[in-house]
Amino acid sequence: MPNAEKHLTEQNNGALYGLRIVDLTRVLGGPYCSQVLADHGADVIKIEPPQGDEVRDWGPPFHEGDAAYFIGVNRNKRGMALDLTRQEGREVLLRLLEDADILFENYKPGTMEKWGLGYEEVLRQRFPKLIHCRISGFGSDGPLGGFPGYDAIVQAMAGWFSVNGERGGEPTRLGVAMVDMGTGLYSAVALLMALYERQRSGLGQYIDMTLFDCAVSLMHPHIINYNMSGNVPVATGNAHPNISPYETFRTRTVDIFIGAGNNRAFAKLCEELDAPELVQDIRFVSNSDRVKHREPLKAEIESRLMKVDGSEFSERLLAAGLPSGPIYNTAQVVAHPHTAHREMIVSKDWYKMTGIPIKLSRTPGAVRRLPPRFGEHSAEILAQAGFDDQQIAELQNSGVVPGKRV
């Protein structure tokens, strides 16, 4: 193939075309990360244990036995099953790693080492260019080292519950699994960093990602505020602890959210409200003044908003350059014309899921494969790794590479 034609083909296959990831992760954080990379052309081989990824059962709703929860984070991957508790399964994994760039797993710390697959002891020596990324709850050492962690558990332990919910209410879990997904996004960044560094050194490395670290890192501005002031942050409902006005307001029709983060934005809001006197009010001169007098300011604003249509007023504020918007439910988000314009709902055959948020101009992401059924590509992947038909049949018949969930 001429070089120019080959280059064009690689571009069309995505920015990460040619990158191979052996993905042993399950549940959400790891699969979300590997789907981000797969959307942009990485060849992700999703390897499930004989029991399958447990989120295949996390429904309803289901499609042909697989939960939407699984389907939503596993597109663009090839799927196989492998019993790593058996030596024969571990030998298969080692064969697959011979031409892999990344090994990605979220087993309990110590599991890979117990299987004779530890990074320092085995993988680094055998595959010096391999990048091994592990996601765990708390890491392998320290006071919480080795303990299991799910999203909500870590939300609670990293302080998220304490700053979420209504003022004076019960500590509340976030309605989005942002610890898992945030860790997935941090992991994607980490993997790309390691790949970039490998271009200089020629060497892989081990990446130690934990839900706890990522959750603490995302506790902004609460931990920062506490470290600076000594005051323990509390839940403030929809109001921002450092900015006012920045919260939900009632109107004649629907609740809307308005964010005015500086004096100019506040003055513009007062102009649109036909309330220029609020700008001169000594209680509202600066942002710190407005934070101190948050409740009377909200009362002043809502007394005027109760006379207007919230959706129309939000559009007016947006046109004036002020962040504002009505509060939508999920159905309204999916149906919104801007969601369609930004291609943030993608459909292919029966598949209808969220779109690709990273918009690259020359090498855009794409939905190339639907989420794999359990063990769907096992034979194909084994053949690609050099196993012959008889060896593949033996692995499948022995249950090392199961064809059905057990």
Show the domain range for 78. Answer: 3-218+349-397
Which amino acid appears at position 90 of this protein?
R
Q: Same domain, yes or no, for 90 and 212?
A: yes
Task: Please say if the pLDDT value at position 314 is more than 60.
Answer: yes
Q: Same domain, yes or no, for 75 and 210?
A: yes
Q: Same domain, yes or no, for 278 and 200?
A: no
Structure tokens at 301: 């604003």
Q: Same domain, yes or no, for 269 and 381?
A: no
Contact 210, 179 (CB under 8 A): no
Q: Is 140 part of a structural domain of the chain?
A: yes
Question: 48 versus 11: which is more confidently predicted?
Answer: 48
Q: Is 197 part of a structural domain of the chain?
A: yes
Q: Same domain, yes or no, for 201 and 271?
A: no
Residue 43 designated active-site: no
Percentage of the chain with pLDDT > 90?
Answer: 95
Q: Is 282 part of a structural domain of the chain?
A: yes
Residue 2 pLDDT grade (very low, low, confident, very high; cuts 50, 70, 90): very low
Q: Same domain, yes or no, for 161 and 47?
A: yes
What pLDDT does residue 8 have?
41
Name the catalytic one among 83, 180, 255, 388: 180
Q: Same domain, yes or no, for 161 and 270?
A: no
CATH label of the domain that carries residue 41: 3.40.50.10540
Tally of domains within the chain = 2
Q: How far apart are CA 15 and CA 217, in angstroms?
A: 28
CA 42 to chain centre: 17
Structure tokens at 230: 């000594």
Taking Cα atoms as reference points, which of 59, 48, 41, 52 lies closest to residue 25? 48
Structure tokens at 102: 């990344």
Measured CA to CA in angstroms, residue 235 lies from 159, 241, 312 at distances of 11, 9, 30
Q: Is 245 part of a structural domain of the chain?
A: no
Q: Is 333 part of a structural domain of the chain?
A: no
Q: How far apart are CA 243 and CA 326, in angstroms?
A: 19
Q: Is the dihedral angle over the CA atoms 232, 233, 235, 236 positive or is it negative?
A: positive
Determine if the pTM surpasses 0.85.
Answer: yes
**Residue 63 bridge partners (DSSP):** 66
Q: Is 281 part of a structural domain of the chain?
A: yes
Q: How far apart are CA 243 and CA 125, in angstroms?
A: 52
Task: Please say if the pLDDT value at position 119 is more than 70.
Answer: yes
CATH label of the domain that carries residue 276: 3.30.1540.10
Task: Please say if the pLDDT value at position 6 is more than 60.
Answer: no
Q: Is residue 125 classed as helix, strand or coil in its secondary structure?
A: helix
Structure tokens at 216: 């603490």
Q: Same domain, yes or no, for 89 and 198?
A: yes
What pLDDT does residue 12 have?
76
Strand 345-348 vs strand 351-354: parallel, antiparallel, or unpaired?
antiparallel
Contacts of 17 (CB under 8 A, 6+ apart): 10, 11, 41, 42
Task: Please say if the pLDDT value at position 130 is more than 50.
Answer: yes
Q: Is 11 part of a structural domain of the chain?
A: yes
Contact 274, 307 (CB under 8 A): no
Q: How far apart are CA 330 and CA 344, in angstroms?
A: 13
Q: Is 406 part of a structural domain of the chain?
A: no
What pLDDT does residue 1 have?
39
Contact 162, 238 (CB under 8 A): no
Which amino acid appears at position 322 of this protein?
L
The tens digit of pLDDT for each residue in 209-252 reads 999 999 999 999 999 999 999 999 999 988 899 999 999 999 99
Q: Same domain, yes or no, for 189 and 138?
A: yes
Task: Please say if the pLDDT value at position 9 is more than 50.
Answer: no
Task: Please say if the pLDDT value at position 50 is more than 70.
Answer: yes
Q: Is the dihedral angle over the CA atoms 110, 112, 115, 118 positive or is it negative?
A: negative
The tens digit of pLDDT for each residue in 156-194 reads 999 999 999 999 999 999 999 999 999 999 999 999 999
Map tokens 């939503």 to a residue: 72
Q: Same domain, yes or no, for 354 and 321?
A: no
Contact 89, 117 (CB under 8 A): no
**Average pLDDT over every residue of 278-291:** 95
Q: Same domain, yes or no, for 121 and 18?
A: yes
**Average pLDDT over every residue of 368-380:** 97
Average pLDDT, the chain: 95
Q: Same domain, yes or no, for 45 and 170?
A: yes
